[in-house]
Chain A
């Protein structure tokens, strides 16, 4: 019987369920066999989904788009839409750190997206033509402007956006709830205004013996923004990732998203992740338990912002241009809708939310618009009123399903704690009848992996975390 428990403790991964089956054949309790079956089904589903996810861009380009073009028009996303789905997934994962893990509603998240985009614009474009710094980039030496490869810009954008996240987060630490939301909204509005207005800057500095003057500096390109921006370039294979290079940028975005998810998942399970959740549930109690609330909240802002930095630099490099018009309040809200629709606090949920919302926003509504316009030209085009639907989504979700469609397990558990407690008791009984001689704690271990964590929620976050890591 110990073997069962041991095998349960093995690290998962694809094929892990095979080990379970081979080791526990014969003499296993019925409840546990069901659990294994469920786990296996889950693994298969996940594997299929992962393969679909990885092959979809190719399938989309060579099969679905062709079908849509030549046979029957269907709302099939093009490569740009796919890229933007993933760029916004990165943002949603980042906002989920701030809003989902730490429970700090950030309504100005777009500011960091803008900072990421302008980082790429400053460091990989001919904008600062007075200098010529070409570092390992895909442009000839001596070309005007600063040119740094995308691969260096991404970490820089993360650091810069993260720094601004901490800077902007610092004054808000005393605030809670709605006041914090409004202050972040203010930052989100100020940052694009700054980028828009710093097109003609005159600095005169005259103090004691220091005399410095620079007139009419165009720092940000004003309302026109900055273009062209160098596209990401992979030297070995010679691939350029821009809007005209097919599905290559989709995979680039996919890799960045995968790294982001890996990072976010590890954060969630780390000490800092537990501290965020403690703050989210009860800031005062968390502080009493020794959580350093100031540092923890600053980290949430900084790390969340760094994801928007990645997304922004990717967006600007991919499109090859950026203007302050990209970064509006509605973009912040769009990301918030993705997070809420998918399931606040759940990384997979928010990615599904981002993909779904961007699909509706960039493919389905324009498609419906075209179809409607071709039948009744005077009828309003739904693509222009996308935020009518998105606003309704917010209202309806808050009313009927505030935890989102793929909720965070802990949150779902809190919402229906008594139901799950009853279910756990029932499981304990079934296994007890099998006369396994295990005590109650190990009964919980025997529960299917997907459900066991719910049962453990009654225990401390510390225990839950250990159980997941094992």
Chain B
């Protein structure tokens, strides 16, 4: 029982990080029907930038006073989000916007190319080896305070939730309630009509990439503080996990993406624990294929039946 709860907690933390990246896939697919293959790599760049900021620029170690760490982590999250948002918007401008009217597979191929470009930029800058940082979050089991010692809920797992949940809620609020969110939904439904109604379609699409990039950046920071390690090709596997989450939940559907990510986080954790870690990737891909083939609308998707 303890083992199952423990696996569940690990899966939940995984799932929350997946959710931030999955939202980026889902937002972009919802609005221009593009599988933004490079999105996972934007996330990877986010973790690299965070690593650089934490250990290089700010020089944070486990010995830094806690209050300083809180301030610095908040700053790192904001800076990384800004940088990855800029990167994502630039990618859209250079690689996707010129192909807006091309056949549907052209932007996908361009995105795959972009993914390799980003990976190799990271490889060029950071080298082929894993890059790691010290764990700067206190290594305590929060459950030990209430007398449970057999299951571990570490501080960093709570940290994951503290960062991701407000972002996810804020994101849903933004898309549902603000004027810009309404423009995004209108463009997703029908870009031409949205344009006629006074929505600046290009700006709205760029804005969608901005938000997606920012979320991926936040996910990158969370991932480096949670796992303390990143590598140049992290984005491929992670990105496919996040994309699978988005598809599982119903791509284009934002709450669906979060739900899909939480489910996939559990699938990952339970597969790692109870099957074998070297089969997890294959299992995730089988989930992806199964959903795409048998239920392409996903768990919560509704409007995309004609696209699959």
Contacts and interface: CB of A to CB of B under 8 A. Distances in A.
A394 B247 CA distance: 25
A398 B99 contact: yes
Interface in A178-220: 178-179, 181-183, 185-187, 189-190, 193-194, 196-197
A197 B120 contact: no
B278 A179 contact: no
Contacts of A412: none
A377 interface: no
A402 B102 contact: yes
Majority secondary structure of chain A interface residues (helix, strand, loop or mixed): helix
Interface residues of A, number: 41
B29 to A, nearest CB: 9
A107 B289 CA distance: 13
Interface in B79-121: 94-95, 98-99, 102-110, 112-117, 119-121
B113 A171 contact: no
Given A175-B308, A179-B296, A186 B289 contact: yes
B19 to A, nearest CB: 19
A333 B278 contact: no
B110 A178 contact: no
A132 B10 CA distance: 49
Contacts of A176: 307-308
Contact of B105 (A172, A174, A181, A330): A181
Given A333-B112, A388-B120, A391-B113, A399 B99 contact: yes
A160 B124 CA distance: 40
A398 B113 contact: yes
A181 B104 CA distance: 12
A196 B280 CA distance: 13
Interface string B286-301: 1011001100100000
Contact of A392 (B105, B113, B124, B307): B113
B243 interface: yes
B108 A178 contact: yes
B271 interface: no
A163 B112 CA distance: 28
Given A182-B292, A391-B115, A174 B308 contact: yes
Contact of A388 (B110, B121, B243, B247): B121
A385 interface: yes
B308 A387 contact: no
Name the residue in A340, A385, A391 with the highest tally of chain B Cβ atoms < 10 Å from its Cβ. A391
Nearest to A336: B109
Contacts of A181: 35, 105, 108
A141 interface: no
Nearest to A337: B113
Nearest to A187: B289
Given A182-B35, A186-B289, A384-B123, A193 B278 contact: yes
Majority secondary structure of chain B interface residues (helix, strand, loop or mixed): helix
A398 B116 contact: no
Query: In which size bucket is the chain B interface?
Result: 35 or more
A177 B105 contact: yes
B236 interface: yes
A388 B104 contact: no
A19 B215 CA distance: 70
B281 interface: yes
A395 B120 contact: no
A330 B116 CA distance: 9
A333 B119 CA distance: 14
B99 A175 contact: no
Given A182-B288, A390-B116, A189 B124 contact: no
Interface in A394-419: 394-395, 398-399, 402
Given A172-B293, A391-B113, A398 B308 contact: no
Interface in B119-154: 119-121, 123-124, 128
A393 interface: yes
Contacts of A190: 282, 285-286
A380 B114 contact: no
A394 B282 contact: no
Nearest to A103: B105
A167 to B, nearest CB: 13
A316 B296 CA distance: 37
A154 interface: no
A395 B95 contact: yes
Given A391-B115, A399-B99, 16 more contacts: A174-B293, A175-B292, A179-B307, A182-B35, A182-B288, A185-B240, A186-B288, A329-B236, A333-B116, A384-B123, A387-B120, A391-B117, A395-B110, A395-B114, A398-B109, A402-B102
8 contacts: A179-B308, A189-B281, A336-B109, A387-B116, A390-B113, A395-B95, A395-B114, A398-B109
